Amino acid sequence: MSTSTYYATCAFPKPVTKKKKPACNGYKDKQNRICAYTGERGAERHELFGGANRQTSIREGLQIDLSPDKHRELQDNITPWAQAENRRLKAEAQKKWMDRYMETENADEAQALRAWMLLIGRNYREDVMPE
């Protein structure tokens, strides 16, 4: 008797839970990806919002294709260029996401910013401030 049929016949059956499979970038099309800075083939995907927001970045398409060297530099965030570029990329991604949200949801900028704050938790744009 398998464990799945055993639990189904119990007086108090174990609830069936499906663990959510985490999203990943995969490597199937890696050879076709081109770095946004150098134009090299074989670029890696860089999630613009890491840590707790990594899955959200993948799901929402908040990513950029980078050569391994540029990816490492942006990931380490040590050089002044990397710090400035990360800020710029995050603000640009937020603007694009908010514009798309306003168009699809027929919302104003304040509503889009609230939705962004619920999604990511931080405002990266200096031209829009939360109420």
pLDDT over 70 percentage in the chain:
95
Average pLDDT over residues 73-101: 97
Q: Which residues contact 64 (CB under 8 A, 6 or more apart)?
A: 36, 45, 46, 48, 89
Domain boundaries, the chain: 28-119
To the question of pTM greater than 0.95 for the whole model, the response is no
Contact 91, 116 (CB under 8 A): no
- Residue range 11-24: mean pLDDT, rounded: 77
Residue listed under structure tokens 């008797």? 1
Can you spell out the DSSP letters for 18-38?
-PPPPP---STTGGG-B-TTT
Under the banding of pLDDT at 50, 70 and 90, the label for residue 2 is: low
Query: What pLDDT digit, counting tens, does each position of 18-53 carry?
Result: 777 888 877 778 889 999 999 999 999 999 999 999
